[in-house]
C-alpha cells in the first residue's frame, strides 16, 4: 500500500513534527507542554470524584469504580483527541500542503503522534492506579489494543481529514458527533445496564469504540475479552476497520490534488 510505504519512509519526520506539534499547542504559556498532561488528568480525576464519591456510584460490577473507569476513559480520550486533531490537521498545516515535495499523506499522522503523547501519559496513570488496587495489565492485550486503536484511528482520520479540508463545516459536525458517541459508548456507564434490551445491547457491544474501551478495561480486570474472544465483536471490528481504510484511502487519494486549491 502506497500510504503505508510513505509512512514508513517518513517515520522520523512524523515523529519529529509530532513532537513539535505537541509543544506548539502550548507555546506562550508559562508551564508549556505540561498543560497537555495536567488538563486531561484533572478532567479524569473530576469524573472519578463526582461518580465515586458524590453520586456514590462506588463500583462497577465486582471492581472499584476507579479501576473500571480510568482505563475506559483514557482509551476514549486517546480516540477523541486523535480524531479531532487529525481531522483538522491538513488545514492547520496548509503551508506544508502547498509545498509540492512534502508528502501530504503523513500530515494526519503527525497530529496522531502529538495526541499519542498525552494518550501514553493517561495509559500510564491508569496502569499505576490500577496496580495500586492490585490489578495488573495484561501486556499482550495492551499491545494488541494499541495496534487495534491506531488501525481504527488512522482509517477514520484519513477519511475525515480529507472531508474537513474540502468542507470546513464538517469539523464542527464532527465535534458534535464525537460528543454523542461519548455518551452512547459505555465509558461512564456500564453496558450491563442494557442487558434488558437485547437488540440495543448487541448493537452497542459491536460498536468499534465500545470494543476498544471494554477491551482496555478487561486487560486490567482479567476478564475474557480480546485474545480469547473469537466472536462477533472482534470480527465486526476488523471488518469495519478494513472497509473504512479502503474507503478513506480512495477518498484521500482522489481529492489530494485539490487540497492546495481550497486552502
In a domain, 4, yes or no: no
Which tops the pLDDT comparison, 205 or 157?
Answer: 157
7 Cα distance to chain centroid = 19
In a domain, 43, yes or no: yes
pLDDT tens track for 114-142: 888 888 988 999 999 889 988 888 888 88
In a domain, 79, yes or no: yes
Q: Which of 156-165, 219-228, 242-251 shows the lowest mean pLDDT across its residues?
A: 219-228
In a domain, 100, yes or no: yes
Whole-angstrom Cα distance, residue 147 to residue 139? 13
Instruction: Count Cβ neighbours within 10 Å for each residue of 140-160 and write b for 16 or more, e otherwise.
Output: ebbeebbebbbbbbbbbbbbb
Q: pLDDT at position 246, please?
A: 94
The DSSP-derived string for 217-235 is HHHHH--S-TTT--SHHHH
Whole-angstrom Cα distance, residue 258 to residue 5? 22
Q: pLDDT at position 77, please?
A: 92
Cell of 20: 513539535
Helix ranges, the chain (H): 2-9, 11-24, 34-48, 65-87, 89-92, 94-97, 107-132, 139-166, 170-184, 198-205, 208-221, 232-255, 259-262
Highest mean pLDDT among 1-10, 26-35, 41-50, 145-154: 145-154
In a domain, 163, yes or no: yes
- Residue 149 half-sphere exposure, CB side, CA atoms within 13 Å? 29
Q: pLDDT at position 78, please?
A: 93
pLDDT tens track for 138-188: 888 889 999 999 999 999 999 999 999 999 889 899 999 999 999 999 888
35 within 8 A of 121, measured Cβ to Cβ = no
Sign of the CA dihedral with 128 first, then 144, 160, and 158 last = positive
Q: pLDDT at position 11, please?
A: 83
Other Cβ atoms less than 10 A from the Cβ of 128: the count is: 10
Over residues 48-68, mean pLDDT: 74
**Ramachandran bin of 222, using left for φ above 0, alpha for ψ from -120 to 50, beta for the remaining angles:** left
CA distances from 29 to 83, 118, 121, 155, 261 (A): 25, 18, 20, 33, 34
Cell of 140: 499482550
Give the burial class of 104: count Cβ atoms within 10 A of its Cβ; 0-12 exposed, 13-18 middle, 19 or more buried. buried
Categorize the per-residue pLDDT at 213 as very low, low, confident or very high, splitting at 50, 70 and 90.
Answer: very high
- The domain in which residue 258 lies consists of 10-262
In a domain, 237, yes or no: yes
The rounded mean pLDDT for the chain is 84
In a domain, 231, yes or no: yes
Number of domains comprising the chain:
1
Phi and psi angles of residue 102, each rounded to the nearest 5 degrees, phi first: -85, 135
Q: Which of 62-66, 101-105, 161-165, 225-229 shows the lowest mean pLDDT across its residues?
A: 225-229
In a domain, 30, yes or no: yes
Q: pLDDT at position 173, please?
A: 92
Amino acid at each position: 500500500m502506497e500510504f503505508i510505504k510513505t509512512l514508513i519512509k517518513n517515520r522520523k519526520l512524523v515523529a519529529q513534527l509530532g513532537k513539535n506539534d505537541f509543544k506548539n499547542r502550548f507555546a506562550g504559556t508559562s508551564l508549556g507542554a505540561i498543560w497537555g498532561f495536567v488538563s486531561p488528568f484533572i478532567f479524569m480525576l473530576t469524573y472519578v470524584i463526582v461518580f465515586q464519591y458524590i453520586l456514590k456510584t462506588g463500583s462497577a460490577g465486582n471492581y472499584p469504580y476507579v479501576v473500571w473507569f480510568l482505563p475506559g476513559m483514557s482509551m476514549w480520550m486517546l480516540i477523541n483527541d486523535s480524531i479531532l486533531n487529525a481531522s483538522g490537521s491538513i488545514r492547520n498545516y496548509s503551508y506544508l500542503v502547498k509545498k509540492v515535495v512534502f508528502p501530504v499523506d503523513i500530515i494526519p499522522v503527525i497530529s496522531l503522534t502529538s495526541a499519542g503523547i498525552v494518550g501514553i501519559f493517561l495509559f500510564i496513570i491508569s496502569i499505576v492506579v490500577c496496580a495500586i488496587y492490585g490489578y495488573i495489565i495484561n501486556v499482550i492485550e495492551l499491545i494488541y489494543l494499541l495496534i487495534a486503536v491506531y488501525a481504527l484511528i488512522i482509517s477514520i482520520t484519513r477519511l475525515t481529514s480529507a472531508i474537513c479540508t474540502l468542507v470546513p463545516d464538517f469539523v464542527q459536525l464532527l465535534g458534535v458527533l464525537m460528543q454523542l458517541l461519548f455518551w452512547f459508548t459505555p465509558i461512564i456507564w456500564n453496558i450491563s445496564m442494557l442487558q434488558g434490551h437485547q437488540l440495543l445491547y448487541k448493537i452497542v457491544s459491536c460498536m468499534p469504540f465500545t470494543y476498544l474501551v471494554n477491551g482496555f478495561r478487561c486487560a486490567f480486570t482479567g476478564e475474557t475479552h480480546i485474545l480469547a474472544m473469537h466472536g462477533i465483536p472482534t470480527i465486526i471490528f476488523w471488518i469495519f476497520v478494513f472497509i473504512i481504510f479502503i474507503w478513506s484511502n480512495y477518498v484521500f487519494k482522489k481529492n489530494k490534488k485539490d487540497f492546495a486549491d481550497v486552502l
